Amino acid sequence: MSPMVDHYQRLGVAPSASTEEIRVAYRALAAKFHPDRAMSRTPAELDLAERRMREINESWAVLHDPASRRRYDDARVRERQAASREAAGAPPRPQPGTRRPRPDDDDLVDVAAPGRIPAGVFRHLPWILLVVVFAAIFVVTAYAAKDDPAPKAPAVAADGSCIDVYPGPSTTIVGCDGPHELVVVQRVASGEPCPAGTEVRRFGVDDLVDCVKPD
């Protein structure tokens, strides 16, 4: 079994770190590796920065949400316990749902008498009901998400657009009503000077550059 990714090690924080400490570490790494801040690097360095940025975003996505972080921490504990048992030569713990063999279990298949329901159906009925319930929840959730799509951030930067380093190299444009770090003051042709008090960035795929300032 492949070892689990250590998201805490990726972000350089301890497993006991608070959400705010994790946020600070994430933003510091994002500022260092974000491809938009590496325009003068070689192609190999840019590729490394993009890969590190994807890893940083993946770890932030797991650790910034309390429920997701709790599931990850539980999985880390189980992995360490399994490694300890393996090192000590102990037999592996049965996985949830694994049926222990009965003394009289001779691998024979239950055969129903004419007009009677097989006994195996009653034995597996709780699992069948559980699968049906999960399927119903999935269908209801899918229809609810379809009827209420989440708002999307603008796809192209423009004067007045708000920028943040999250969610990564795929797009840095976010809605101005949410958390953001920069505001696009003006878009100018490449080579033209930006207004005083702004710095040059490039968020689009056209020939224009973005003059931004902290917000």
pLDDT of residue 92: 57
AA letter at 191: G
Cβ pair 200, 187 in contact under 8 A: no
Average pLDDT, the chain: 77
Q: What is the pLDDT of residue 183?
A: 87
Residue 169: is its pLDDT beyond 60?
no
**What's the pTM?**
0.40
Q: By the 8 A CB rule, do 32 and 52 touch?
A: no
CATH superfamily of 7-87: DnaJ domain (1.10.287.110)
- Examine the pLDDT at 78 and tell me if it is beyond 90: yes
Q: Which residues contact 163 (CB under 8 A, 6 or more apart)?
A: 157, 172, 173, 174, 180, 181, 182, 183, 184, 201, 203, 210, 212
**Buried b vs exposed e over 28-62: b needs ≥16 C-beta within 10 Å?**
ebbeebbbeebeeeeeeeeeebbebbebbbebbeb
Residue 7: pLDDT over 90: yes
Q: Could you tell me which residue, 15 or 170, shows the higher pLDDT? A: 15
DSSP state of 36: G
Tokens of 107: 């691998």
With cut-offs at 50, 70 and 90, classify the pLDDT of residue 137.
Answer: confident
Q: What's the whole-number mean pLDDT along residues 14-38? A: 88
Confidence of residue 171 (pLDDT cuts 50, 70, 90): very low
- Give residues with Cβ within 8 angstroms of 103, minimum separation 6: none
Q: Where are the domains of the chain?
A: 7-87, 162-214
